Amino acid sequence: MRVTLFGGHGKIALLLAPLLVDAGHEVTSVVRNPDHVADVEATGATALVSSVEDADEAGLVAQLTGQDAVVWSAGAGGGDPARTFAVDRDAAIRSMDAAAAAGANRYVMVSFSGSTPDALVPEDNPFRHYQDAKIAADDHLRASGLDWTVLGPGALTLEPSGGTVNPDARFNDGDVTSRALVAEVALAVLADERSYGKTLVFGDGDVAVDAWLDQV
């Protein structure tokens, strides 16, 4: 597959890109900062310098024309609510609309386990604006007509991956997840139709990914 990876210099993306390349995919990693190009290209991916926050839909369509799949792993990184909505909601939604227009029909969203109205934190919690932004983006993806998968890991760690998941995880309940495992799951689902149209909440666990996908 020809895959565009948004958020290419993020911790998950830098782990995912070499996995995708080793699996035979042709990877374009989108980064905002030109200083990050060397890090991205060391993974075997091709770096594309572009700000997802500033790119309009037409620009994103141009980027995605000829691509087969999109993996969204970009984010504002918390903090300023306005920028969180600009990146985690608005830019993500533009990328989905652009993917549909460009014919890049496979879309994998790296979201999080709390991206659901069932897990809302109080409105005065600083985390709430991120949660609202992710819920809106994920809902738009589900209604997009794309072949989508939403990945819902929980609190992220830098621990090595055990290669197995907890399929019974929920927000703040068994959902602690190594970033390396998120990268492995993203690779596993990319071309696996068992995951299409599914929201997959998980954490580190003891169930093999293939067995999990048989059950979803």
- The ranges assigned to domains in the chain are 2-215
Instruction: Identify the helix (H) or strand (E) that includes residue 156.
Output: strand 156-157
Residue-wise burial string across 106-132, b where 16 or more C-beta atoms lie within 10 A, e elsewhere = bbbbbbbbbbbeebeeeeeeeeebbbb
C-alpha torsion sign, points 36, 63, 18, 70: positive
Rounded to two decimals, what is the model's pTM?
0.97
Superfamily of domain 2-215: NAD(P)-binding Rossmann-like Domain (3.40.50.720)
pLDDT in tens, the chain (216 residues): 999 999 999 999 999 999 999 999 999 999 999 999 999 999 999 999 999 999 999 999 999 999 999 999 999 887 789 999 999 999 999 999 999 999 999 999 999 999 999 999 999 998 999 999 999 999 999 999 999 999 999 999 999 999 999 999 999 999 999 999 999 999 999 999 999 999 999 999 999 999 999 999
